[in-house]
Structure 1
Amino acid sequence: MKILHVVTLHTPDHAFGGPTRVALNLSKVQRSAGDDARIMALGDGFPDGELPSSVEGVPVHLFQARHLLPMFEVSGITSAALLSTARRMMRGADLVHVHLMRDLVTLPAALIALATRTPLVVQTHGMVDPTEKRVAQLTDLLGVRKVLREADAVLHLTEMERLDVNAVAAPVPLSRTVRLVNGVRPQERKPARDPGRPPTVLFLARIQERKRPEDFVAAMPHVLARHPDARFVLAGPDTGALPETLALAARLGVADSLDHVGPLDHDEVLAAGREADVYVLPSIEEPLGVSVLEAMSVGTPVVITRTCGLGPDVAETGAGRVIDSRVGADAANARKVADAVLELLEPEAAEQAGKAAWELVNERFTIEVVTTTLRRTYEDVVRRRRG
């Protein structure tokens, strides 16, 4: 099967995060199964403007991002050449899988798929929900609603996301929705921490306000009071919140215990997870974080918030701790993070939660399980079209 994934952006530091990582993970497994899966996206930030033709073994068709509406950041970039090429490539594809957001890449690509009558699967990654923002509402009116209503299948991560996309598509109910979780490759479980080694606590995600890196840093003094030799690793590309996060560490007097390592490639992500004793993501409204799954895949317990899509699974299995968190600067958030980290640094709790985290990924969130579900969806879509 010839599959064209369309995602908004790929950069050397993986600053766009989840959707691009999901498209890469899916494409790698699909290609190993004999499908011709490839990715189309904008590229930005590459040295000398040299855009790669493959990423992690997956053929990619990248086009230099044009910042048409800089005030809208990622939503305001596009490329006429990409859209022109997309129309041509769709004619030869069996199916187009668009990782949809309100932007000038994936939304036009989805509309082109509808216009060319190419079988279309849409995956929103929690990025399309009801909103009071006028520009987003206009975008829904001009195209998002049509795409959701006419796509052959709409993939959702959680029940909340299914309700959200239905609310955007209203008053027409969506009858072709399919739950598709994110998945990662199974990994060997790491050994238990040597009691003589200082503990390591990891934050690995885009460093932006929504991910709440300030709560991670604000929790440090409480953890250091009991583990003065603990190391805290802040990893991931900066998308706006790094200066204030580092300034907070300086104000709290904990900067010497914080290692800012910047963006990591995929192998480095897994290595960081193995080195960490606890992974922390105090994000507000995280649909189904791939970075959380990658940490658990090596047996690292996690601290996440109740608004994370993985919250119910982590709470049910004991794969970490699920905490409440409030929007805005709040010392209570930091204390909840710290208390959860301290619990998971206790040897018995660490062993139980680490084992549960590793088993949770292997039982419910492997990329093979995900692609099996997706393959059935693809085949149903193509069968309905042929029928």
Structure 2
Amino acid sequence: MKALHIVTLHTPTHDFGGPTRVALNLCRGLRAQGDQAVLVALGDGFQEKRLPRSVDGVPARLFQARHVLPRFEVSGITSPALLAAAPRMLRSADVVHVHLMRDLVTLPVAMLAARMGRPLVLQTHGMIDPTQNRVAQAVDVLGLRRVLKKADAVLHLTPRERELTEAVVAPEPMGPAYRLVNGVTPQPMRAPGDGRPPTVLYCARVQEGKRPQDFVGAIPTVLEKYPDARFVLAGPDTGALAGDMLALAGSLGVGHALEYIGALDHAGVLERLRSCDVYVLPSIKDAFSVSVLEALSVGLPVVVTRTSGLAPDVAAAGAGRLVDSAPDDPDNAVRIGRAVLELLDPAANAAASRAAWRLARDSFTLDAVIGSLRETYATVLRDRFTAGPVRPTPTRVP
């Protein structure tokens, strides 16, 4: 079986984060099971004249990004060459798997696949929900609702994500819904720190939605008890906030404790996770963070908000701490600092570390996710074959 995975963007610094990483993981896992899986995306920020033909070992068709609507950032980039090549690529695939967002890449390709009658799987990564933005509403009317209704499968991370995506097309029915969580490759458990100062890590895009200011704001609370603690801010600066975060640390009198190290490749991320004691992601709206899963996979305890998609699993397993958080709440940072302090206690850290590693191993391995995805693909193709030109009645899967 050949699966074509279409995602918006790949850059050397992984600016698009989670969706691209998920697409790569799924492609790699499918290929390990003997399927053909190819990544299709825009490429940007590469110094070479020719874009890479593979990404992390996955065959890739990358097309140079054109910034046609710069004020819309990643939603405003496209490639005429990709759109011209799309019909041929779509015809060559048994399944077209689109990592969908309101943009000029994945949405046009999904619309074309639906029009061509290709088996279409959509994965929304928590990015498709009702909106008051007039431009986004126009995009919904022009095409997004149509592809959500015509899709052979719409994948969701959580029941809440499914509800929000369904609300975009309501009162009409969405395509058949299936749950597919994110997964990670099992990793050896990290070794405990050997005399180094306590180290706390943020490793995600540095942008407003991830709330890096709450991470920085937690530093004074932790330093009161652990004055030698170190804080590492890692990830692409897609919100142009890294300088502001360093300035914030300086204004709080803790600039000496914070280091910004920029974007890391996947191997670099795992290496950094192993060298830290607590992972913090203050984001309020993350549907199912890959970076949190990667932290869990090496046995690194996490601090996440109660509204994040992985919060129930982290709480049930004892793999970290949950914090209440709300936009512009000045107490966010203090709550995060207190949670970090709890996890820096050696006994609590050891217990949460073991729980984190077991949680990733038992519930979120990439092999299990790939098994579920292949079953979904088989269902889509079987329904297509048996139903012929008549669309089967969607079955809702919680």
Q: What TM-score comes out, normalization by structure 1 length? A: 0.98
Aligned 1:370-385 pairs, distance under 5 A: 370-385=369-384
SS in 2 for 1:111: helix
Aligned residue in 2 for 1:229: 228
Given the alignment of the two structures, is residue 339 of structure 1 paired with residue 353 of structure 2, yes or no? no
Aligned residue in 1 for 2:123: 123
Given the alignment of the two structures, is residue 168 of structure 1 paired with residue 201 of structure 2, yes or no? no
Shift of 1:274: 0.5
Aligned residue in 2 for 1:100: 100
Given the alignment of the two structures, is residue 109 of structure 1 paired with residue 114 of structure 2, yes or no? no
Q: What TM-score comes out, normalization by structure 2 length? A: 0.95
User: Following the alignment from structure 1 to structure 2, what is the Cα–Cα distance between the partners of residues 297 and 349?
Assistant: 18
SS in 1 for 2:331: helix
User: Following the alignment from structure 1 to structure 2, what is the Cα–Cα distance between the partners of residues 385 and 84?
Assistant: 26
User: Following the alignment from structure 2 to structure 1, what is the Cα–Cα distance between the partners of residues 330 and 169?
Assistant: 39
Aligned 1:1-387 pairs, distance under 5 A: 1-174=1-174, 176-194=176-194, 196-240=195-239, 241-328=241-328, 330-387=329-386
Tell whether the 8 Å contact from 2:189 to 2:298 is kept in structure 1 after alignment: yes
Tell whether the 8 Å contact from 2:315 to 2:322 is kept in structure 1 after alignment: yes
Q: Structure 1 counterpart of 2:132, which letter?
A: E
Greater Cα offset, 356-365 or 241-250: 241-250
Shift of 1:132: 0.4
How many residues align? The count is: 385
Shift of 1:285: 0.4
SS in 2 for 1:270: helix
Q: Structure 1 counterpart of 2:90, which letter?
A: M
User: Following the alignment from structure 1 to structure 2, what is the Cα–Cα distance between the partners of residues 191 and 234?
Assistant: 21
SS in 1 for 2:200: strand
Q: Which runs of 5 or more residues in structure 2 are unaligned?
A: 387-398
User: Following the alignment from structure 1 to structure 2, what is the Cα–Cα distance between the partners of residues 203 and 175?
Assistant: 37
User: Following the alignment from structure 2 to structure 1, what is the Cα–Cα distance between the partners of residues 48 and 22?
Assistant: 27
User: Following the alignment from structure 2 to structure 1, what is the Cα–Cα distance between the partners of residues 4 and 83?
Assistant: 13
Q: Which runs of 5 or more residues in structure 1 are unaligned?
A: none
After TM superposition, where is structure 1 displaced by more than 2 Å over at least 4 residues in a row? 191-194
User: Following the alignment from structure 2 to structure 1, what is the Cα–Cα distance between the partners of residues 51 and 324?
Assistant: 42
Shift of 1:49: 4.4
User: Following the alignment from structure 1 to structure 2, what is the Cα–Cα distance between the partners of residues 156 and 193?
Assistant: 37
Q: Structure 1 counterpart of 2:275, which letter?
A: E
SS in 2 for 1:137: helix
Deviations 1:95-149 (A, max 9, x none): 0000000000000000111111110000000000000001111101111101111
Tell whether the 8 Å contact from 1:49 to 1:64 is kept in structure 2 after alignment: no
Percent of paired sites with the same residue:
61
User: Following the alignment from structure 2 to structure 1, what is the Cα–Cα distance between the partners of residues 193 and 293?
Assistant: 20
Q: Structure 1 counterpart of 2:224, which letter?
A: A
